[in-house]
Amino acid sequence: MNQAIQQILTQKLLALADDELILAHRNSEWIGHAPILEEDIALANIAQDELGHANLWFELHQTLTGDDPDELAFFREAAQFRNVQFVELPRGDWAFTMLRQYLFDAYELLLLDQLQYGRYQPLAQACAKVRNEEIYHLRHTSSWIKRLGLGTEESNRRTQAALDELWPYAQQLFVPLPGESILVDEKIVPNLGRLHESWLERVRPFLTAAHLTIPSNQTPPTNNRSNHTHHLTTLLADMQKVARLNREAVW
C-alpha cells in the first residue's frame, strides 16, 4: 500500500471509529433511564455492539499507525475527534434517540454491505463479521420508528420533530473526506454519493409509510469532520473523566 493511500485510509478508519464511539456513548446515557426495562437492555445491547464496531476500526487504525485505541478514545480533545455532528447531538427524547439510531443503522448496513467486498482485506473481513449485528439493529429501530410514527398523535409529533432536526445532520454521513476518492478508485471503500442514493431510496419510503414528512432541508450544517458542536465537549468531559483521573490505572 503506498503512502498516500495509507494516509487517507487511516483518516477514514478514524472517522468510522469516532462515529460509532460517540453514538455508542450517547445511547449508553439511556442505561437506567429508558422507558421500560426491556428497552433499556435492548438499547444497551445496541450501544455495546456499536462500541465493539468502534473498537474494530480503532484496532485496524492501530495496525497502520500504532496508536493505542484507549489513548485515542480517552485522551484526545474535542477538536481532534473526526465524528459527524449527527452522532454528538444530545440524546433528546426516546423518539430522537430511536430515529437517530435508525438513520445510522440504515447507513451502516449499506456501508458494510459494500465494505465487505472491499480490496483491503482486514477491513473487508471485519465488516463481514459485524454485518449480522447491524441487520438486527435495523430491524429493532425500524420496528420502533414504525410504531412511533403510526402510534399516537404525541408519538408522531415527537418523531417528526426529531426528523426535522436530524435530517440535515444525517446527510453529513455521506460527505467524503478530502482525498477519499483515492480509496474509492482503489475499491477499498464505496462511493458515498452512490451510497447516499441507496440510503435515500431505503429510508424515504419507509419514513413516509410511517406517516412522517421528509424535511426539505438536506444541507448538512458542516462538511468538515473537524468542526463540532459544543455538545461534544460536554460528552467527552463525561466519557473521559474516569480514564483521566489516573492515566496509569489498570483496567
Partner 1 sequence: MSDTQWPRYEVFKQDNPQKPHEAVGSVHAPDAELALQNGRDVFVRRPSAVSLWVVKASNIFTMTREELEATPDFWPKVSKAAGTPTTFHLFTKTSQRRSMTFVRHAGQIEAVTPELALRDAIENGRFDADNVWVWWVVADEFIHRSQADDIDSLFAPAVDKTYRQQSHYGFVSPRRQKHGREKLDADERR
C-alpha span between 180 and 213 (Å, rounded): 32
Q: Name, in order, each residue with C-beta under 8 angstroms of 23's C-beta and a sequence gap of 6 or more.
A: 50, 83, 87, 100, 101, 104
Q: Which is nearer to partner 1, 11 or 101 (CB)?
A: 101
Q: Name, in order, each residue with C-beta under 8 angstroms of 248's C-beta and a sequence gap of 6 or more.
A: none
Q: From the CB of residue 201, how many other CB atoms can be counted at a distance below 10 Å?
A: 11
Q: Name, in order, each residue with C-beta under 8 angstroms of 185's C-beta and a sequence gap of 6 or more.
A: none
Minimum separation from the CB atom of position 67 to partner 1 (A): 23
Minimum separation from the CB atom of position 6 to partner 1 (A): 28
Minimum separation from the CB atom of position 84 to partner 1 (A): 25
Q: Which is nearer to partner 1, 43 or 239 (CB)?
A: 43
C-alpha span between 65 and 81 (Å, rounded): 16
Positions that interact with partner 1 (CB under 8 A): 36-39, 41-42, 45, 49, 129, 132-133, 135-136, 139-140, 143, 147
Q: Which residue in this structure is represented by grid cell 455532528?
A: 85
Q: Which is nearer to partner 1, 143 or 219 (CB)?
A: 143
Minimum separation from the CB atom of position 242 to partner 1 (A): 17
Q: Which is nearer to partner 1, 1 or 135 (CB)?
A: 135
Minimum separation from the CB atom of position 52 to partner 1 (A): 9
C-alpha span between 110 and 105 (Å, rounded): 8
HEC states along 148-166?
A: HHHCCHHHHHHHHHHHHHH
Q: Which is nearer to partner 1, 38 or 153 (CB)?
A: 38
